[in-house]
A and B are shown apart, each in its own frame.
Chain A
Amino acid sequence: MTTLRLGFARGGLEIKQFLRSRESVVFTLFFPLLLLVIFGSVFDAEIAPGVSFTQYFAAGIIAAGLLTTGFQSLAIQIPMEREKGILKRLRGTPMPRTAYFIGKVIMVLAIGAAETVVLVATAAAFYDLPVPSTAAKWVTFGWVSLLGISACTLCGIAFSSLARTGRGAPAIVTPVALVLQFISGVFFQYTSIPEWMRTIASLFPLKWITQGMRSVFLPDSFAAQEVGGGWQLGYVAIALGAWVIIGLALCVFTFRWTDRG
């Protein structure tokens, strides 16, 4: 009970800190929005009857937003906190360790929700992205977002143990996130990517999140254009669920509070 209360207190503090840090607000919230505006304005060709690349890209960037908030920001922020001694300081208090992670999850959920709302609203208002029309699509949107951001968050926390210094973190995290976005159907249509790249992409969560998002925002007629000939929501759930478990295991076994033992 105390753990949960302290977790929420940490979450509140993390959100406050996030909102006061202009760089992180701009990077996390407005960068995907900027991409949406640029791509939406430049590539507006039809890729299938009634489906423009802008719509395709909007679904992709909503998915990528979850990757940015969950994976990228944590995998960069946590090594910095480790380097600054913030983690060590927390370890020196009676704070239950879990409260730290609950705080991070709350922060990611709040930012992820805000970002998704901004992206969906912008895409719907300016780039003809249809807002989900059926309850079933809203449900899919809900579970794909939640499962997706959970997988990304856990992978972000796990990945944070790889960076040896805080300053080095962006250099090893950003390329991973960027490459995944290129091969997972965000910047390019997934079907236009060479098969070997698709094989790699399908090992990671982002490909499955983009696919799930397309099932929500693109017309069902587009399902036939997918590599698997359908939305494959079952596979989406299995792949993301598996990454939640893998991410959690990696977190538990690799998380480091200090630089050295």
Chain B
Amino acid sequence: MPIVNAVTEAITVRGLHKRYKGHVAVDGVDLDVHRGEVFALLGPNGAGKTTTVEILEGFRKRTSGEATVLGVDPHDADAAWRQRVGIVLQSTGEFDDLTVREVVHHFAQYYRNADDPDAVIERVGLADKRGARTRVLSGGQKRRLDVALGIIGRPELLFLDEPTTGFDPEARREFWGLIRQLAAGGTTILLTTHYLDEAETLADRVGVLVGGKLVAVDTPARLGNRGTDGATVGWRTPDGPRQEQTDTPTAVVARLAEQFGGEVPDLTVTRPSLEDVYLRMIGAGE
């Protein structure tokens, strides 16, 4: 039985399983999300990201294992716990003929410690749409409304399930700014995404979920020993470009510097990208 430290850990999961008829969606996941961190769950479609998150949100029953979210078993989620948790679901909210302002003001009433609705609308970048009926909003604007509803109660912990799917690059960048702001304000964020750049930019730590198993957890820079092994040194020789795979790139560069007696032409030292590491992992996991 793990000892749960609800002071330092926002989420603690041990041996989490979820079985549906004939298939296993989550297969023995252990996970800790620290208070105040942004944690990204990466994984291909069907890897169990949403199932895992929805168990932690108190929407689904687990088959077995332990889960503690803000010191409470999410299966027993009550209104007091829901006061402290913000949820942005994978599906976009539809509020048809109500205006942005009406929806956010209405949801604010559910929370004891709600933020100022107009300020939240401003923060998610919908200020000029506040009087618009929600059915006319673009996909990206609807998603911002989802986020507004997720943060209106000033949650300690915010779940974001694939928040930027369908965004154009500019909208995504603005959205990242918003998430960074929230994180800087101390909100713990559990994010699922299949965009590697999103995980790399936002997350303090990344977990890779493949076939219901968590195959790696680390900082984006160190995931899969990205920072320590397998660098590639490249340069130009009179016969054309050359490359060398090495675990000791500094030594290779020193040798080259000596060889060329100064600047090495077209010198590059590259580590595998997060994408390389990720693709290797999901390839290995399947």
Contact = CB atoms under 8 A, between A and B. Distances in A.
A, B from the same assembly: yes
A92 B87 contact: yes
A88 B88 CA distance: 11
Interface in B49-95: 57-61, 79-80, 82-83, 85, 87, 89, 91, 93-95
Interface residues of A, number: 20
Contacts of A94: 79-80, 82-83, 110-112, 153
Given A9-B106, A94-B110, A21 B96 contact: yes
B275 interface: no
A88 B53 CA distance: 14
Q: Is the interface of B mostly helix, strand, loop or mixed?
A: loop
A17 B109 contact: no
A96 B78 CA distance: 9
A177 to B, nearest CB: 23
Contacts of A229: none
B149 A89 contact: yes
A95 interface: yes
Contacts of B112: 94
A38 interface: no
A95 B110 contact: yes
Contact of A16 (B83, B89, B94, B98): B98
A16 B134 CA distance: 14
B82 A86 contact: no
A16 B87 CA distance: 25
B160 to A, nearest CB: 13
Q: In which size bucket is the chain B interface?
A: 20 to 34
Interface in A95-110: 95-96
Nearest to B82: A94
Contacts of B102: 13, 16
A88 B82 contact: no
A93 B110 contact: yes
A85 B83 CA distance: 20
Contacts of B79: 94-96
Given A94-B79, A94-B83, A85 B89 contact: yes
B97 interface: yes
Contact of A17 (B58, B98, B107, B153): B98
Contact of B93 (A6, A86, A258): A86
A91 B54 CA distance: 12
Contacts of A13: 98, 102, 106
B146 to A, nearest CB: 9
Contacts of A95: 79, 110
Contact of B57 (A17, A21, A92): A92
Interface string A12-56: 010011001100000000000000000000000000000000000
Contacts of A167: none
A194 interface: no
A93 B153 contact: yes
Nearest to B92: A85
Interface centre among A13, A86, A261 (most CB of B within 10 A): A13
A20 B94 CA distance: 15
Given A88-B89, A92-B89, A20 B59 contact: no
B61 A261 contact: yes
- The list of the 7 closest CB pairs from A to B, nearest first, reads A20-B97, A94-B82, A94-B79, A92-B87, A95-B110, A93-B110, A85-B91
Interface of A: 6, 9, 13, 16-17, 20-21, 84-86, 88-89, 91-96, 258, 261
